[in-house]
Amino acid sequence: MAHLILASSSPRRRELLQQLGLQFDVFSPEVDESVLIGEGIAGYVQRLACIKADAISAQFPDAVVIAADTSVGVEGKILGKPESKQHAFEMWQAISGRKHDVFSGVCVGTSKQKSSIVVQTQVEFQSLTLNDMEEYWATGEPVGKAGAYAIQGIAARYIPRIDGSYSNVVGLPLYETIQLLKALKVLN
């Protein structure tokens, strides 16, 4: 099998990919994650995934690179990682008691060819009280997470249902990633 590289520093993506029994190395590219003017959420995550893949492919031209980017969207707004406690609270107020979408862009490729996809999952969040928010923030879990929550952790207590891929909400839609690898003839 080809040399696989995961272009991400996310421990969650690493764990998800390990679930599939694949052998891979990890290299995390430095990329500008600024949102372009007028850019939608789906376009944003797909563009970032492809930029990450291209950056690592340039360093390892014979490798197959898997790159991803995940963002939470509500009413067309991108909710990235919280910059502060107040920012996290603002995000939770935006998703509290309603549904929102989690988008992941995945790009798989080599220096010669690549393929990408965007996966969308709808997540329902319960109404959060100020006490819920204070307690969740105190756990430290929201730091560094898109939308300021981790479905695979404590935040699961606030999520009554999802519609779509669970692994997408964690950060890497596994089924779709495998399909991209198969399309590039990396896997059978």
pLDDT, tens digit, 9 for 90 and up, residues 69-112: 999 999 989 998 999 999 999 999 999 999 999 999 999 998 88
pLDDT, tens digit, 9 for 90 and up, residues 108-134: 998 889 999 999 999 999 999 999 999
DSSP assignment of 18-62: HHTT---EE-------PPPTT--HHHHHHHHHHHHHHHHHHH-TT
Annotation: CATH topology of 4-183:
Maf protein (3.90.950)
Opening angle at CA 62, ends 118 and 46, nearest 5: 15
Catalytic annotation present for 32 = no
Catalytic annotation, pick one of 25, 32, 62, 69: 69
pLDDT at 1: 65
Q: What is the DSSP letter of 160?
A: -
pLDDT, tens digit, 9 for 90 and up, residues 139-186: 999 999 999 999 999 999 999 999 999 999 999 999 999 999 999 888
Q: Give the sign of the dihedral formed by CA 51, CA 87, CA 103, CA 21.
A: positive
Question: Any residues with CB less than 8 A from the CB of 173 and at least 6 apart, and which?
Answer: 104, 106, 119, 121, 165, 167
